[in-house]
Chain A
Amino acid sequence: MMLAALVQRLAQMLFVMFGISVLVFLIFFATPGSDPAARIAGKNAAPETLVAVRHDFGLDQPLPVQYAVMMKKLFVTHDLVSFVNRGLKVVPAIIEAAPVTLSLVFGAAVFWLIGGLAVGILAAAWRDGFVDRILMILSLTGVAIPVFWLGEMTNLLSQNRLHDTLLFSWVPALGYVSLHADPTGWFKALLLPWLTLSLGFIGIYGRVLRANIVETYQEDFIRTARAKGISETRVLLRHALRMSLVPFVTMFGLDFGALVGGGALVTEVIFGLNGVGKLTYDSLQSLDLPVIMASVMYASFFVVLANAIVDMTYAVLDPRTRSH
């Protein structure tokens, strides 16, 4: 039965991705009153370019064929080319940008998981006390500060004003350093972006976790656990926290998936990291259709994958969801 459930899940995933691809395709290729060829070719394109584009993408053929051509270029032949960007091969560009985004998001995720757990647990352990209130105020501040402001301020201090002091002299110039080439450099370049990106998430996750734990404390089984004579710490960690993990993990999976798909674009742009987010941002500025198409597919894949993984984690975290 597990296999059947797995197959069902995969089928659902493919179906959703198919749906998204069709929807995006239709938005760009079937909106009345606009010419996809002009869009793909970019502004001020020569007439020969337009003809070439029309032929290449099969734009004089019926819609389903156009869709098939686009999908083939994306997934099979990988020869989707950006006209706006002077022949940039789209798929390789995304493949090259992916590790940057992945490095940024994974690192930030580590910080925000540890931070969120710490804030949530500590605030719940001393709920309604001084520690709790301070942590909640700090969390709210973290949520309220916009990433772009925090990023720019961080840059201002670390790159400019306080760069020569002990605190920030180690900070390299903005931009990504490959992990293979220079691990220490990779770490130094990403540390501040990690902290910036994770601050808001620590705030949200800390608050949500605290609220969940405090709510779980009202449950019957907490009373039973105390009545068994186990320590209060154990009640907090092994009972209340354990039950509160499910919503925590759900949120994490979805946020993580969205970020890997290019949702961290503000951070990437501010810190000069050429990840998928920055790629998407640039393509939206210039309305570079092939790149937009490709990055939407890439992003949707990761969101759908994250969703599926989160669903499967439910079965691990909550045995009631398993079919017996």
Chain B
Amino acid sequence: MPTPLLDVQGLSISFAGRNGPIKVIEDLCFQVNEQETLCIVGESGSGKTVALLSMLGLLDPLSSRVEGSASFKGANILGASQETLRQIRGREIALISQDPMTAMIPVRTVGWQIVEQIQAHNGLSRRAAWNRAIELLGEVGIANPRMIAGQFPHQLSGGMRQRAMIAMALSCNPSLLIADEPTTALDVTVQAQVLDLLRRLRRDFGSSIVLITHDMGVVAEMADRVLVMYAGRIVEHGSCDAIFADAWHPYTWGLLDSIPPLDGPRPDRLVSIPGSPPQPDKRPPGCVFAPRCHARIAACAEPPPRQLADGRDALCVIDYANRHAGRSHPVHTMDQSA
């Protein structure tokens, strides 16, 4: 088994709150291998973005506390020095943010911003860096890269802005790309183009991708492996095929079953998960999902065990024998019971 590219163990993150620290991420363990796409699915309050930002040391040190370990290519990055982190950012691990409009500085041209990243890690001259930037913009499918390089972010459409962000992220050939909901702010036809681009680039550049999303459709299209996060924990993990064929955790069932179908018969009522995701400071003891879970039992008042199998696991008390029965009896209330 080759060493994983990124290996996270026991990651816990707390933020300073009014009444003491609030634990946002609880004991996270996962790996990212070479040449694979890992999708992290979750909703608000799941902490998916915070967990990945902590890899790059991008959380505010004054108001957050990060515990646990993470090693990238064998070297520890969680406690690394600022200088080490600076060299990794952009060159080994690159970030694509959710909203390209706010993620780029509005007063500099797109070309300038790409050049800045190139020059931060390579000793290229300004001219050489500018030409490389134009090359990259062409590679991400922009039709007129020389002109676009000289434009400002607000002059581009949403799709082009995101492509420019992707070009910028790839400029130093990183081994790992963290894409934080890269298509959420885009139209569906543009989303298709951008996902297609990411797939192609992964093939051509050979980087691994961690793709954060809330859209199970995107997961099905892009993922090799899937992590499902809820309230700061990983509640399910497995290969994409395994999750879609036979999910284990009731939350994953809810996510999958509540999507209205695009073809076939129309259900009379959609399966829904009652209640809402809890705020980080109001998480219940025991199983965090229990208040909303239709399959809960008395044992769910205690922290659930991790069901393990070959290459997958789920944080749930329900085991193999009871799984099928649990999934086929959803309820239809809107509010969770106490």
Contacts and interface: CB of A to CB of B under 8 A. Distances in A.
B167 to A, nearest CB: 12
Most buried by A among B58, B99, B105: B105
Interface residues of A, number: 23
Interface stretch (B116-124, B227-235, B327-335): B116-124
Interface in A206-229: 219-221, 223-229
A233 to B, nearest CB: 11
Contacts of B94: 227
A128 B102 CA distance: 26
Contacts of A224: 95, 97, 103-105, 165
Nearest to B108: A242
B50 interface: no
Q: Is the interface of A mostly helix, strand, loop or mixed?
A: helix
Contact of A319 (B106, B121, B172): B106
A221 B103 CA distance: 4
A230 B120 contact: yes
B62 interface: yes
B168 interface: yes
B152 A239 contact: no
Interface string B191-209: 0000000000000000000
Interface residues of B, number: 32
A229 B121 contact: yes
A96 interface: no
B106 A223 contact: no
Interface in B71-124: 82, 86-91, 94-95, 97, 99, 102-108, 116-117, 120-121
A229 B90 contact: yes
Contact of B106 (A225, A228, A320): A320
Given A221-B104, A223-B58, A230 B99 contact: no
A231 interface: yes
Nearest to A225: B105
Interface of B: 53, 56, 58, 62, 82, 86-91, 94-95, 97, 99, 102-108, 116-117, 120-121, 152, 154-155, 165, 168, 172
23 contacts: A219-B102, A221-B105, A223-B58, A224-B105, A224-B165, A225-B105, A227-B89, A227-B94, A229-B86, A229-B89, A229-B91, A229-B117, A229-B121, A230-B120, A238-B116, A242-B105, A242-B107, A243-B105, A243-B107, A319-B152, A320-B106, A320-B154, A324-B155
